[in-house]
Amino acid sequence: MLRVSKLSKTIDHRAIIEDISFDWQPGEIMGLVGRNGVGKTTLFRTMSRQYLPESGRVTIDDHDLVREPLYQRQLFFIDTQYNFLGNYRLRELPDFYSLVYTGFDQQRYRDLLAHFKLDPQDQYRRLSKGMRALVNVILALTSNATYIILDEPFDGLDVIVRENIASMVIDEVADQTKGFLISSHDLNELDGLSDRVLLLKDSRLAHDYNLEDVRAKAKKVQLVFKDKQIPALLKDNSQLIRVSGRVLVVVFPDYTADLDQQLRALQPVLFEELPLTLEDLFRANLATDTGYQMMK
């Protein structure tokens, strides 16, 4: 198990991440979501020791990565903004990564380049943004590291390539020997991939969702009431995510039989249950401009 314990990082006297703690096991695909600038990439850089934390630590099977850096070979992360790959040809990259990742599968790397019609002679920096993201994923998969961090892996990729990558990630965790931590602006992609989702807000870990558990308890409902007054029952028990005229779309984090009975007793004109998505959870927790406090 990889464990992040009370990890904090300050840059330019500003706390970027504070007191972040979570566990991550092989076989898990976790999503990381949060608004731009909330600290997702800083968390990745601190976990991989590109940044030194002000406090906290990262351990793999109880081995501290600072004290026993060899265990960092089990963790893979390519910084999409700052890396050394630019001037090298794709055929050269395995020579570097196999020095660190002793299980690096060079044949599979070549096979995946061929599968996606990538020329081994091409320079990394001359590729499009989407193709560089694809090469990063290929390197991650062929590293055979246990814990793989992917920062915006679907950015710039067409739908067919995204589907191929998603399928490969799912296949990789099937034998429970690898885990993935993936940040993405495409919440629909994470919704179909992730078992758990970490939500960063105001530099802290605001929620650690098990999506199966959330969907077992939560409910998204579309409602219309006879008058414009918002019932106190909604304000006390739900989060408003969208308003269109008199139509309210709300998420109840803990929808019980008693709550259902009380809600129906209000005799709404429209009562319709809708599928609950990861985007709904994101809106409910981060979007304040549609909250009840903004409504008259």
What pLDDT, in 10s, does the model give residues 156-186? 888 888 888 899 999 999 888 999 999 987 7
Confidence of residue 287 (pLDDT cuts 50, 70, 90): low
Q: Are β-strands 219-224 and 14-24 bridged in parallel, bridged antiparallel, or unpaired?
A: unpaired
pLDDT band at 109; cut points 50, 70, 90: very high
20 class by beta-carbon count within 10 Å (0-12 exposed, 13-18 middle, 19+ buried): buried
Which residues, in sequence order, are bridge partners of residue 274? Answer: 220
Instruction: Report the alpha-carbon distance of residue 93 to residue 87 in Å, rounded.
Output: 10
> How does residue 19 score in pLDDT terms, banded at 50, 70 and 90?
very high
User: Does residue 292 have a pLDDT over 70?
Assistant: no
pLDDT at 83: 86
pLDDT of residue 286: 66
pLDDT digits (tens, 9 = 90+) for 237-271: 999 988 888 899 999 989 999 999 999 999 999 99
Burial class (CB in 10 A: 0-12, 13-18, 19+), 149: buried
Phi, psi angles (nearest 5°) of residue 147: -120, 115
Pairing of strands 219-224, 196-201: unpaired
Kindly state the tokens that stand for 165.
Answer: 């990558």
Q: What is the largest CA-CA distance in the chain?
A: 69
Task: Look over the chain and give the mean of its residue pLDDT values, rounded to a whole number.
Answer: 90
Residue 294 clears pLDDT 50, i.e. is over it: no
Q: pLDDT value at position 169?
A: 92
Q: Which residues pair with 31 in a beta bridge?
A: 182, 197
pLDDT in tens, 187-235: 888 888 898 999 999 899 998 989 888 888 999 999 999 988 889 999 9
Q: Could you tell me the pTM of the whole model? A: 0.86
State mean pLDDT over 32-39.
89
User: Does the CA dihedral 214-218-222-227 come out positive or negative?
Assistant: negative
Gap between the Cα atoms of 296 and 294, Å rounded: 7
